[in-house]
Amino acid sequence: MAFNAYMHPRNPYKDNPPDFSKLGEEFADFKKYVQYNKAGKPFINFRSCAAVRELTVALLKKHFGIKLTLPTNSLVPTVPLRLNYLLWLEDILNCNGFDPERVVFDIGCGSSCIYPLLGVAINPEWNFFASDIDDRNLRSAKENVENNDMTTKITLIKSSGAEIFPDELEKLDACMCNPPFFNDQVEMDATKMRPTANSSCAGSKTETISEGGDLKFATKIVEESMTMGDRIKWYSIMLGKKQTLKSVLSVLKGKNISTIVTTEFCQGNTMRWGVAWTFLKDIPTQLIPVSPFQKSILKKQKKPIQMKSLVNKSDECLTSLKKILDEISVSYTVTKETSKLTVYIKAQADSWCHARRKRRQKQNKSVQNCETNSVNEQKLESSLEVELSIEIHSSNGKCTLCLIPKDQSQRDKVNNLAVFLKGKV
């Protein structure tokens, strides 16, 4: 499973995936969905809603002591994903000091009421308010709360739909929400037809479909948070599409909300995105752990961009490189060490991307066109400054160039230089 390595570090399933065979021996209703491949390894069909339902029920009972009942055609919550969200919320709340007692509002608890149930199971001193617009969902949620003796810890609220935050809410530590992802049935059906879809457990309409999809729902939370202010310390949302995350970040910045954190929820073949914000001042967000997925990206970005030289000696490679940089009018300085040569570059523009254009301009006999292109080029250069170093290493009769951007945000431009130099140096 591609993303399991990037689960939250405290997620018990990160390095310990459930043994379907052993789980089947303990839970008869789950056992009938366990299959075995030719090597004898157990697996289940994650596109079978019934199989995923029984897996969720079994995991919650075995590892958290939660008895869960789900109505037919209701959304089946996967346990590792919900844990990832709750554990990230713990990290956010604890960045300003640990407090075992928290009060959290779950927006749209669904029929399972999974977040409050799981939240209290792993943090017994937490308390939850949980709302839903659907009477059927609330009846099922109430049954699950009562069956687990959590009526003193979880308070259910019928939402009118007009406002997300009911008047009875006072000071809260956080709110959380897993909004309906889809705008309509057509969009949801299109997603289910994708080859990468892993589960057919769509859920009821109120759990999966909302006018405007998760972006409109999230935007409404942002707008109401402006009125609620610091009555809720942290607002958080889990989103199903990366593009929605980008849009929500734009909405938050448009409201001049500056304290924002994001993360990725990784499990199985599924990734979701989390965003949270606060109106409190001087919150040490740097103490919130970076997600394992973001760490992997940062680690990858820190690696230099390597390419092989056409020549075997470092001096010859340097001569060739200097000639090319001179041709495209890029300034540089060179330092020599025992083990390597280093070329430091500060370009006014990533002119290597526009070398062909410049050659065409020189060949253009029209003075007017040249003047126009020159103006456009100056505008382009002002926004494309880049600094990097190129280390030239020679070992075992081979020469290698390592391109290292000064700022990782310029990595794409430096990568373009590597592409430009390939086959020339």
Q: pTM for the complete prediction?
A: 0.74
CATH T-level topology, domain 303-364+382-421: TATA-Binding Protein (3.30.310)
The two three-digit tokens of residue 211, written as one number = 């006018």
Strand pairing partners for 266?
271
Alpha helix positions (H), 160-308: 185-192, 205-208, 213-228, 242-254, 292-302
Long-range CB contacts (within 8 A, 24+) of 47-56: 47/197, 47/198, 47/199, 47/200, 48/200, 49/76, 49/199, 49/200, 49/201, 49/202, 52/76, 52/78, 52/199, 52/201, 53/201, 54/27, 54/29, 54/30, 55/18, 55/20, 55/23, 55/30
**Tens digit of each residue's pLDDT, the chain (425 residues):** 579 999 999 999 999 999 999 999 999 999 999 999 999 999 999 999 999 999 999 999 999 999 999 988 888 999 999 999 999 999 999 998 999 999 999 999 999 999 999 999 999 999 999 999 999 999 999 999 999 999 999 999 999 888 999 988 989 999 999 988 655 454 555 555 444 445 545 555 555 556 777 899 999 999 999 999 999 999 999 999 999 999 999 999 999 999 999 999 999 889 999 999 999 999 999 999 999 999 888 777 778 889 999 998 899 999 999 999 998 888 899 998 877 888 888 886 556 765 556 556 666 655 444 444 444 444 444 445 788 899 999 888 889 999 988 887 788 888 889 999 998 99
Rounded to the nearest 5 degrees, what angle is found at the Cα of 89, between the Cα atoms of 85 and 95?
A: 145
- What is the domain partition of the chain in residue ranges? 68-299, 303-364+382-421
Helix or strand run (H / E) with residue 236: strand 232-239
Is it true that domain 68-299 has CATH number 3.40.640.10? no
The three-class DSSP label of residue 347 is: strand
